[in-house]
Chains A and B, each alone.
Chain A
Amino acid sequence: MPPTTFASSLATKRQRRQIDYSLASLALWASLWAVFFAFLFYPIAFMLKGAVWHEGRFTLTFFALLLQDPALADALKGSFGLALTTTLLTLSLAVPIAFVMVRYELPMKSALNLLLLVPMISPPFVSAVAVRQLLARYGPLNQLLMAVGLVDPLNPPSWLDFPFWGIVILQVLHFLPIAYLNAVAALVRVDRSLEDAAKSLGSSGWHLFRTITLPLMMPGLFAAASLVFILAFTDLGTPLIFNYQRVVALRIFHMVETALENPSGYALVLVVMALSLLTFWAGKRWMERWQVQTLPRGPADSGEEKLPSSLAGAISLAILLVTFVAILPQVAVVLNAFSDRWFMTVLPDRWTLRHFQNLLVHPLTLTSLRNSLLYSLASASLDILLGLTIAYLVVRRKAPLPNWLDGAAMLPLAVPGIVVAFGYVGAFANTPLDPRINPVPLLVIAYAIRRLPYMVRACYAGLQQASEALEEAALNLGASPLRAFVQITLPQIVPHLVTGGIMAFAFAMLEVSDSLILAFEQNYFPITKAIYALANRLEGGAQMASAMGVLGMLVLALALTLSLRLMGRRLGEVFRL
């Protein structure tokens, strides 16, 4: 037997490895990593250095200072409580709704399915402006309660004294669609034959749900929970409007001004990021632990059960009620935007288009509208470019370490917007990209990176559907790889690309934390920052802010409708963790 040398075994290994990467794909791969390093890892590393490196020495003083500051400890506790409450309430609403929607024949089902998604069309921050008016001491809610005699007209309750619950309610209503889509996806994946097996062993009803259905949904639900938790934990806009200081996001916002002088800000941001990453990681871990136990599954039997028509009607009505409540904040925004006089009455008593006309003449609003359109268009294009390249390299395994690339692309799900934005302010200060001078490039990049996970997902879904065999056939017939991709694969995934692009555009239009933190000069304000600036003005500011909110909602609603048309039920895949 000939002795096998290390070199010869290496040679065989090399021969066995079928993939050899083309120069072009390696170049793409390298430039993607360059983007990630420059705009995701570097800002974080910069903050890390700022937080632990002071006057040439390693120090943990700033972290120690954080822990000693009672106001900060309070804010951390506040954010944690807020996020936990929101998450639990959101899921306990979403799971039962998902269950009845998936399992039973219900009247008006497709309409309900659409209505449940409506709260997505505006960030809770925009609704908060209007809801704040709604909840005022002599505001419409108390007027309504007085009218039916539930509230003492001389001493109406002051709802805004409970900003915590105001924020919770707005967040729950806003996150309900995402939680609902996730719960539906989790439920659909439950193998019905497992439930049949349990039934044939004597289980039924609540016992069946508790011992089989719910545990099998858990991975998906836990993932959804960690997503909602992170979003609620780092939500900046809603607490800002309610002026609720007991949350970390607000503390961080206030520290932006002094970011360069006071490293405590970096330390705080890093703590928030660590918590988010931990939550995200726990969610992922759980999902994987359960997925290991997935067994070969039977044919999907997606039968909907019939219910007695009165019961089905009652369920539909209940869901309709929930969606009605969920849409109320949006309704308040619309009412506010058209109200001329809304004082001491349940509904506005005079209507006007004045606020919309004002939008067109007011320098701040017009500029911000134009800015936002420009930023969103640029970031959506960037997203399509980045997302398509990443998805292609990962799905088709055209570059080394595809899992790492995927991990980096998904990281923005776990790294909150305030973290990235705060890092940019520090890391790019006194560079050509300094946001205090011109925030446009960084705003566009920040928007793009924040929505990249969704874009990449949409592209994954497209590429996995597009048959690789077709591309191979083209190659086999003599087409170059680029030509085969452009002529054969690209046309198949256009709907996914367009959907991803529309969503990226729409969310960039109404992005809150990056916009609030990165835009310093008024002439660079995007609409969300303009809404924030307007909302704090006394005379008619809230109405104008609402009018802008209405415009933003229209854009987002249009975008969602379009993507729903293009993607149908598969839209849920894009919003999963």
Chain B
Amino acid sequence: MVAVRLQGIVKWLGKTLVLRGVDLTVEGGEFFFVLGPSGCGKTTLLRIVAGFLVPDEGQVFFGDREVTTVPPHKRNAAMVFQHYALFPHMTVWDNVAYGLRLRKLPRKETEWRIREALKLVRLEGFERRYPSQLSGGQQQRVALARAIAVHPDVLLLDEPLSNLDAKLRAEMRGELKALQRQLGVTAIYVTHDQKEALAMADRMAVMKDGMILQVGTPTDLYRRPASRFVAEFLGDANIWDGRIIAVHADGVEVETPFGKLHCQRPDFSVQVGDAVWVMVRPEAVQVTRGDEGTSAENTFVARLVRATYLGEAMELVLRLSNAEIKALHFRPDGGLPDEVRLKVAADDLRLLPRHEATAPTD
């Protein structure tokens, strides 16, 4: 199990600065995700780890070994490509055998490892097919088998599920995660799909404009984003302007367009008078029809503007003086009145700084 360490990676592609000093450590055996919108540099980062690109500045380490300028074929870092990149002129068997034959293993060992890899991806019996005779999901699995057959130190995955249909994608998520566990291989997975990252990652990094904004577990990042960009990229979020009006030992009071909110103290230092953003996830907004009044903390009465039935929940848009709030109302039992009561726990409210390292888009 090899740890991957990136230090101060800077990369220009032509006249574009694609990576602006990336530091990252992926622990041995970890399933690590790099998440970001297209054009954020995540694929470039992966190609640097694979050795297809050499960074202009900075270093890459596999364990203690510096591999910054080591060519790809000497890294033992197998990659699964977005379009699978299966060799069309070779059968499934020959595709999987390709890397093993280069390693000049004994014949028996080679065959055993091909079978083992195909068994792991549940493609036994497809050995003599050509890639074009397989479905998208099967091709994807051959690509995976080909990569794991060589027992790579690091497994690199470049949006491997993006060409599958929604149902298959959901299935493969579970399989991939289980497979990575079973192999215990260090894996770096690049995607723009936050659901994939949240579902599979041990830890993940969110990238934007060639920089890493935040690293942590999926729960960390989803529940405690450090910036507005991360908050919005990982899921639906209500975000309002706020101003600190009081700082206590156990929290802060924030003035918002619709009233005063009690929040937990943020990770960054705040003073009275500071402008911040206040964020809450729609599913954390508790909506009741009750008439218990609004005397409790962070409790308001709102008017129901729109209700959209989603199946597992009802998506509500509520209006509170001059602000709108999105809320998810689970197990809706019958309709809701025009006036509802909403409550947000101080735990679920998150303060975000107005100034980020990079300016947020939109």
Contacts and interface: CB of A to CB of B under 8 A. Distances in A.
Interface of A: 191, 193-194, 196-204, 207, 211-212, 215-216, 218, 290, 292-298
Interface stretch (B84-92, B173-181, B187-195, B265-273): B84-92
A298 B81 contact: yes
Interface string B92-110: 0000001100110000000
Residue of B73, B81, B150 with most partner-chain A CB within 10 A: B73
A244 to B, nearest CB: 40
Given A199-B72, A202-B102, A204-B73, A295 B84 contact: yes
B310 to A, nearest CB: 32
A216 B320 CA distance: 63
Contacts of B99: 201-203
A202 B76 contact: yes
A333 to B, nearest CB: 44
A196 B52 contact: yes
B88 A202 contact: no
B132 A201 contact: no
A201 B88 contact: no
Contacts of A200: 50-51, 72-73, 75, 77-79, 147, 156
B102 A294 contact: no
Given A203-B98, A290-B89, A293-B88, A197 B81 contact: yes
A295 B88 contact: yes
Nearest first, the 3 closest Cβ-Cβ pairs linking A and B are A201-B99, A197-B85, A293-B88
Contact of A298 (B72, B75, B77, B85): B85
Contact of A294 (B74, B132, B147): B132
Contacts of B143: 197
A285 to B, nearest CB: 15
A201 B102 contact: yes
A296 B83 contact: yes
Nearest to B76: A202
Nearest to A199: B72
A204 B132 contact: no
A200 B163 CA distance: 21
A199 B84 contact: no
Residue of A204, A215, A218, A293 with most partner-chain B CB within 10 A: A293
B217 interface: no
Interface string B160-173: 00010000000000
B85 A191 contact: yes
A295 B86 contact: yes
Contacts of A204: 71-73
B131 A295 contact: yes
A191 B88 CA distance: 10
B139 A295 contact: yes
14 contacts: A193-B81, A194-B86, A194-B88, A196-B50, A197-B79, A197-B143, A197-B146, A199-B72, A202-B102, A215-B89, A290-B88, A293-B89, A293-B132, A296-B163
Contacts of B98: 198, 201, 203, 211
B132 A292 contact: yes
Contacts of A215: 89
B192 to A, nearest CB: 15
A212 B72 contact: no
B126 interface: no
Nearest to B99: A201
A207 B72 contact: no
Contacts of A207: 102
A214 B74 CA distance: 22
B257 to A, nearest CB: 45
A199 B51 CA distance: 9
Nearest to B100: A201
A297 B131 contact: no
A216 B102 contact: no
Question: Which range contains the number of B residues in contact with the other chain?
Answer: 35 or more
Nearest to B73: A204
B83 A202 contact: no
B240 interface: no
B87 A194 contact: yes
B82 interface: yes
A293 B72 contact: no
A295 B72 contact: no
A194 B82 CA distance: 11
B130 interface: yes
Interface string B128-169: 001110000001000100110010000010000001000000
Residue of B50, B86, B88, B131 with most partner-chain A CB within 10 A: B88
A198 B81 CA distance: 11
B150 A201 contact: yes
Contacts of A298: 81-83, 85
Given A196-B79, A295-B131, A295-B139, A201 B146 contact: yes
Nearest to A211: B98
A216 B86 CA distance: 12
A216 B78 contact: no
Given A191-B85, A202-B74, A295-B86, 13 more contacts: A196-B50, A200-B51, A200-B78, A201-B98, A201-B147, A202-B73, A202-B76, A202-B99, A216-B89, A293-B89, A294-B132, A295-B88, A295-B132
A298 to B, nearest CB: 4
Contacts of B102: 201-203, 207
Contacts of A212: 87
A239 B81 CA distance: 53
Contacts of B52: 196, 199
B190 to A, nearest CB: 14
B78 A201 contact: yes
Residue of B83, B130, B131 with most partner-chain A CB within 10 A: B83
A196 B81 contact: yes
A197 B52 CA distance: 10
A212 to B, nearest CB: 6
Given A294-B88, A295-B139, A199 B73 contact: yes
Nearest to B72: A199
A162 to B, nearest CB: 40
Contacts of A293: 88-89, 130-132
B151 to A, nearest CB: 12
Contacts of B76: 202
Interface in B100-123: 102-103
A364 B131 CA distance: 63
Contacts of B71: 199, 204
A296 to B, nearest CB: 5
Nearest to A292: B132
Contacts of B146: 197, 201
Nearest to B156: A200
A210 to B, nearest CB: 12
A337 B296 CA distance: 105
A193 B50 CA distance: 12
Contacts of A218: 89
Nearest to B134: A295
Contacts of B73: 199-204
A94 to B, nearest CB: 21
B77 A202 contact: no
A191 B86 CA distance: 10
Contacts of A295: 83-84, 86, 88, 131-132, 139
B51 to A, nearest CB: 8
Contacts of B82: 193, 298
Contacts of A211: 98
Nearest to B81: A193
Nearest to A294: B88
Nearest to B146: A201
A201 B87 CA distance: 12
A378 to B, nearest CB: 46
